A and B are shown apart, each in its own frame.
Chain A
């Protein structure tokens, strides 16, 4: 049996394959065989290393040497020098852009240092259904420290000092929120965890609850101790059955171990947590609406003040935080606020989890320090755009956020920069779009979502968003006028200024940001009646190229409205008056004779 001493790993990700990594792999295999090294050295194709910008990547184990921008011709040199003589091929090593030094071990490279897992520290590491594994990772140490060594005021001071801000959207300082809640006194107070992850395209809260439920339970208890509450409620979406199941198991285990319940750690602090299920309403992410929903009512928001800190669940003082915010708390207590606030930017501390999705190679959940740029996230960690297409925009902040163009790729991501760029952090969804995505359609997509999800309580949101949607619909059908664009802008501003809650106040953001950043695309729809991305069906024009058409009649037979005419073996034509732009002919033509414009 062969006992390999060395492994050569060749990246087989889409990006690297586009730059001949297949050939590199074949060359390595051939050379290793020629030199009779196949008993000692094994050549392997791997998944994407994520560092596509420097691809193709070749990695040598066990010394962890990371070669970048390798060409098929380099394989021979790597084998002769590195594999046989043990000398690294310097010119292929990664060059640190700041220090101008070669770095051979990928662990020391900026790119791999870019992800730091705080909120996700245990996800994918421990068994979420076994409390002892959480305890083995210093679980429940933080609540222990708070109860035995710190006063509630000290805990709040520590969270304030850490600079942690709410991860659910708004970015309100968490310590300050806790302080407000601690100032109202009542016979009963509540801690609420907002696990109603409504932003379509964001799934970090689900992953945390499924992968590390105890961190949220522990943090809620810490919050309870510092604000003087002994009851906790988790409001969770019914769409997440697995997360609900894992939470139930975690709560049961924590109670059995005496880490929830009466007199925790023998102190007089008691804390209990129960679950409340959501039922599919985006507006319930807004804290007043969420509270009404937990009370068994329609999830409609009410004006603030009074803030929940004063009058929340059952009219009692209530503190609401989101899942990811809570997941940071135990680490801050264990490692100290000063450890935490060294990570991130001046006004946004720590890390943020992003759900990378859309037209990107490495769809996934990443956690990076605040201040990382979009370019680093999309190209280095995310592995770039799918199928080698052109990056067009990235949508952040979900239906309340906006689309950012390539002009913003080098903007460091934090709460304030994203707002300044016309979007927002939101819960951390990042949907990447390429040249095939029509920005007017994207705005329409979000507006359709908002129209459906508006609770209907206030007029600007209920009627305003509906009108906005109708204008967008008109534009995508090719019936828009230039006046519509002004109307769109003005009405958006009105809805923003006059809506009751956060949902309405942010609902027009996708429109405003696309109007700002992609005005030409709107104009193309309105004035030229063209959709540059080729997505708006009504603006498409299908034409048959008589040069390429061989008259096979497949298109004519597949046309549902008989818009295509012609005789066998003669070029066919499409009657634009009859054509319903379904695209069936375009898909069926084997000769590429039909064009979509």
Chain B
């Protein structure tokens, strides 16, 4: 779950946390991706302020950190919802009707892909294959995987989290 960063400034203990993550990877710029993974799992997302601290610790330009964060789909600069919903749009899920599932989630939550509900509860994104093609179409909410999802079952799935 996303940690709130107030007034776009990090608290001293938050800065300390980031520094420790960098240090545990030897402040080595080659480990940038592993560092970003760990930081994102701590803060829930990677806002500009966090990237600046990492850049300083690794002694590299912020632009380089930003370049990496925006290149990879796994990293996000906006906080995700309390229950991030990811619809698998891999080929196996696609041919088994994943698009209809996505439409249903959009309709039920009133969200477009990449958005978060106003109450911060749900966010909607797509991903490409989690390798559970036997259960297609598949939806992931947080760490939990829902298989053989039908448009009719979408409502019930969302209700579990309300």
Query: B-facing mask of A439-475, CB < 8 A → 1, else 0?
Result: 0001001100100000100000000000000000000
Contact among A241, A277, A359 for B33, CB-based, below 8 A: A277
| Interface stretch (choices B2-10, B129-137, B154-162) | B129-137
| Interface stretch (choices A23-31, A86-94, A119-127, A294-302) | A294-302
A583 to chain B: closest CB distance in Å? Answer: 10
B38 to chain A: closest CB distance in Å? Answer: 10
| Chain B residues within an 8 Å CB radius of A540 | none
Judge whether B129 and A200 touch: CB under 8 Å.
yes
| Chain A residues within an 8 Å CB radius of B29 | 296
Query: B-facing mask of A408-451, CB < 8 A → 1, else 0?
Result: 00000000000000000000010101000100001001100100
| Chain B residues within an 8 Å CB radius of A364 | 134
The CB with the most chain B CB atoms within 10 A, among A203, A207, A437, is that of: A203
B94 to chain A: closest CB distance in Å? Answer: 6
Judge whether A203 and B95 touch: CB under 8 Å.
no
Instruction: Give me the interface of A with B, judged by CB distance under 8 Å.
Output: 197-203, 206-207, 238-241, 276-282, 293-299, 314, 355, 357-359, 363-364, 395, 398, 429, 431, 433, 437, 442, 445-446, 449, 455
The CB with the most chain A CB atoms within 10 A, among B34, B91, B127, is that of: B91
B41 to chain A: closest CB distance in Å? Answer: 10
Q: B73: CB under 8 A from chain A?
A: yes
| Interface stretch (choices B64-72, B77-85, B116-124) | B64-72
Judge whether A203 and B133 touch: CB under 8 Å.
yes
Judge whether B128 and A449 touch: CB under 8 Å.
yes
Judge whether A296 and B94 touch: CB under 8 Å.
no
Beyond A280-B73, A357-B91, list 20 extra A-B contacts (CB 8 Å).
A198-B128, A200-B129, A201-B129, A238-B74, A239-B127, A276-B34, A277-B37, A278-B74, A279-B33, A296-B32, A298-B68, A298-B71, A357-B133, A358-B96, A359-B95, A363-B92, A398-B91, A429-B91, A431-B95, A433-B95
B125 to chain A: closest CB distance in Å? Answer: 11
Judge whether A279 and B75 touch: CB under 8 Å.
yes
A407 to chain B: closest CB distance in Å? Answer: 21
| Chain B residues within an 8 Å CB radius of A314 | 30
Judge whether A279 and B32 touch: CB under 8 Å.
no
Which 8 A-B pairs give the minimum distances between C-beta atoms? A200-B90, A296-B32, A203-B131, A279-B72, A357-B92, A200-B129, A280-B73, A201-B91
Instruction: Give me the interface of B with A, judged by CB distance under 8 Å.
Output: 28-34, 36-37, 67-68, 71-75, 89-92, 94-96, 127-134, 136, 143
A sample of 8 inter-chain contacts (CB < 8 A) reads A206-B131, A238-B37, A239-B131, A280-B128, A281-B73, A293-B33, A298-B68, A446-B91
Judge whether B133 and A363 touch: CB under 8 Å.
yes
Given contact pairs A293-B33, A449-B128, A298 touches B133 in the complex (Cβ within 8 A): no
Judge whether A280 and B131 touch: CB under 8 Å.
no
| Chain B residues within an 8 Å CB radius of A355 | 133
Judge whether B95 and A295 touch: CB under 8 Å.
no
| Chain B residues within an 8 Å CB radius of A198 | 128
| Chain A residues within an 8 Å CB radius of B67 | 298
Given contact pairs A279-B75, A281-B73, A239 touches B130 in the complex (Cβ within 8 A): yes
Closest to A398 in B: B91
B129 to chain A: closest CB distance in Å? Answer: 4
- Bound form: Cα–Cα A200–B28 in Å: 32
A48 to chain B: closest CB distance in Å? Answer: 13
Closest to A583 in B: B100
Given contact pairs A238-B74, A280-B74, A358 touches B129 in the complex (Cβ within 8 A): no
| Chain A residues within an 8 Å CB radius of B74 | 238-239, 278-280
| Chain B residues within an 8 Å CB radius of A296 | 28-33, 68
| Chain B residues within an 8 Å CB radius of A207 | 131
A344 to chain B: closest CB distance in Å? Answer: 25
Judge whether A358 and B30 touch: CB under 8 Å.
no
| Chain B residues within an 8 Å CB radius of A239 | 74, 127, 129-131
A323 to chain B: closest CB distance in Å? Answer: 12
| Chain A residues within an 8 Å CB radius of B73 | 279-281
- Bound form: Cα–Cα A239–B88 in Å: 12
| Chain A residues within an 8 Å CB radius of B92 | 200-201, 357-358, 363, 431
| Chain A residues within an 8 Å CB radius of B89 | 200
A293 to chain B: closest CB distance in Å? Answer: 7
- Bound form: Cα–Cα A442–B94 in Å: 9
| Chain A residues within an 8 Å CB radius of B143 | 241
| Chain B residues within an 8 Å CB radius of A294 | 30, 33
| Chain B residues within an 8 Å CB radius of A276 | 33-34
Contact among A200, A299, A433 for B72, CB-based, below 8 A: A299
Closest to A238 in B: B74
Closest to A587 in B: B151
- Bound form: Cα–Cα A238–B89 in Å: 17
The CB with the most chain B CB atoms within 10 A, among A207, A293, A358, A455, is that of: A358
Contact among A240, A277, A431, A442 for B131, CB-based, below 8 A: A240
| Chain B residues within an 8 Å CB radius of A277 | 33-34, 37
| Chain A residues within an 8 Å CB radius of B131 | 197, 202-203, 206-207, 239-240
A234 to chain B: closest CB distance in Å? Answer: 12
Closest to B97 in A: A436
The CB with the most chain B CB atoms within 10 A, among A199, A206, A357, A395, is that of: A357
| Chain A residues within an 8 Å CB radius of B90 | 200-201
Judge whether B30 and A437 touch: CB under 8 Å.
no
B74 to chain A: closest CB distance in Å? Answer: 4
| Chain A residues within an 8 Å CB radius of B31 | 296
| Chain B residues within an 8 Å CB radius of A241 | 143
Closest to B31 in A: A296
B54 to chain A: closest CB distance in Å? Answer: 11
| Chain A residues within an 8 Å CB radius of B71 | 281, 298-299, 455
Closest to A363 in B: B134
A455 to chain B: closest CB distance in Å? Answer: 7
